[in-house]
Amino acid sequence: MSNTGEHRLALSESGDAWVTAADGAQYWGKYGAAGVLAYDPSRGFLLQHRSPRTAAGNTWGIPGGARHRSENSLTAALREVAEECGIAPQSLTPLYAHRVNKGGWHYTTIIALADSTAEATPLDWESLDFRWIPKHELPDYPLHPNFAQALPHLLPLFESRHAIVVDAANVIGAMPNGWWRDRGKATADFIAQLTATLPAGVPPELCGISGLSVPGMHRCYPRWIVVTEGAANSAVEVAAENTPATAQHTQIAQAAGSGDDELVHQVQALISENYTVTVCTSDRELKSRVTSIGARTQGAKTLWQHIATAAQEKPAAQ
């Protein structure tokens, strides 16, 4: 492809443009915009001191910017953070995506935990400074008006964590795709399909979150634990080699004996760490065991429907 063709492709992908939304106001991002509200329990929330040359300049907000056409919200937000302050995606654990819709334009805030390696430095003209600010000091800073309006809805999201534990044998067995010929390969294929959907997150309903109870909740990024057993344990090494970086917080638990017993053990451990746990299985006995200790359940077909839907959705919908 010629340089002219490459430039034309770049322009068609770029979301860098002003958009007039239904409320009559102009917002940056042809395909919407996304940013990250990162939190480190030992340091506080990462805020960006915006340059006077930006919209609502000289206020404090979060790093973010316009989404490109082929990006989902998480990918765009992580890219913007890396570009603006140098924090690598591996230093952040996404939890939720909160969306404000202005009618024809939307802003998605990725709620994320940051580890101790996340160090922010201004890398472009948009930022004067980055600072980790304890929660009790947030009212002392002049916040970007839109961020200040959304903040009361965002802060409570850091108080909960969700996990999904998958009964791999039952979920795979729900699909008549010839899995019985090679359980190891069928399991590896399933894990690959599942991890491919992770950058888009899951609908809140899959984690048991009602949109009425958490206004603006758009996506969840739960901790995933896939429990394998027997011959399917051979899939662990294969899946690990093909797991994308965005699925770094996915765990494959190999059962030495009963897969059900291992799954119950995983659920008990998560609940002890204050996770809200959803188990994906259609096994009635297993459902009874996990609900009795505080988990909720989703059927195997529900998970397959999510995987199929995520594979077909355009990034703009995510």
- In order of start, what are the domains of the chain with their CATH numbers? 7-158 (3.90.79.10), 160-317 (3.40.50)
Asked if the model's pLDDT at residue 143 lies above 80, the reply is yes
- State the angle between helix axes of 259-272 and 284-291 in degrees (0 to 180), rounded to the nearest 10: 20
Model pLDDT for residues 44-58, shown as the tens digit of each residue: 999 999 999 988 889
Asked if the model's pLDDT at residue 8 lies above 80, the reply is no
Mean pLDDT for 84-94 is 94
DSSP string, the chain: --HHHHHHHHHHH---SEEE-TTS-EEE-BTBEEEEEEEETTTEEEEEEE-TTSTTTTSEE-SEEEPPTT--HHHHHHHHHHHHH---GGGEEEEEEEEEE-SS-EEEEEEEEE-TT------STTEEEEEEE-GGGGGGS-B-HHHHHHHHHHGGGGG-EEEEEEEHHHHHHTS-SSGGG-HHHHHHHHHHHHHHTGGG-B-GGGGT--TTTSTTEEEE--EEEEEEEGGGGGHHHHHHHT--GGGTTEEEEEESS-HHHHHHHHHHHHHHTTEEEEEE---HHHHHHHHTTT-EEE-HHHHHHHHHHHHHS-GGG-
Name the band, by pLDDT with cuts 50, 70 and 90, for residue 88. Answer: very high
Using a pLDDT cut of 70, give the percent of the chain over it.
Answer: 89
Asked if the model's pLDDT at residue 141 lies above 90, the reply is yes
Pairing of strands 33-40, 64-66: antiparallel
Model pLDDT for residues 151-210, shown as the tens digit of each residue: 998 999 998 899 999 999 999 999 887 787 888 888 888 988 898 888 888 999 898 887
**Separation of alpha carbons 61 and 74, rounded Å:** 18
- Using an 8 Å Cβ cutoff, are 102 and 27 in contact? yes
Query: By mean pLDDT, which of 4-13, 65-74, 296-305 is the weakest?
Result: 4-13
Q: What is the pLDDT of residue 81?
A: 96
Residue 144 makes CB contacts below 8 A (sequence gap 6+) with: 50, 56, 59, 60, 61
Asked if the model's pLDDT at residue 7 lies above 70, the reply is no
Name the band, by pLDDT with cuts 50, 70 and 90, for residue 235. Answer: low
Q: What is the pLDDT of residue 247?
A: 47
Mean pLDDT for 259-275 is 96
Name the band, by pLDDT with cuts 50, 70 and 90, for residue 2. Answer: very low
Name the band, by pLDDT with cuts 50, 70 and 90, for residue 249. Answer: low
Asked if the model's pLDDT at residue 306 lies above 80, the reply is yes
Q: Which residue has the higher pLDDT, 222 or 316?
A: 222
Q: What is the pLDDT of residue 212?
A: 57
Q: How far is CA 183 from CA 55, 164, 248, in A?
A: 55, 22, 24
Query: By mean pLDDT, which of 123-132, 241-250, 292-301 is the weakest?
Result: 241-250
Q: What is the pLDDT of residue 66?
A: 94
Q: What is the pLDDT of residue 245?
A: 43
- State the angle between helix axes of 183-196 and 300-312 in degrees (0 to 180), rounded to the nearest 10: 50
Pairing of strands 106-114, 60-61: unpaired
Model pLDDT for residues 54-74, shown as the tens digit of each residue: 888 899 999 999 999 888 899
- The count of residues in the chain is 318
Amino acid (1-letter code) at residue 2: S
Name the band, by pLDDT with cuts 50, 70 and 90, for residue 244. Answer: very low
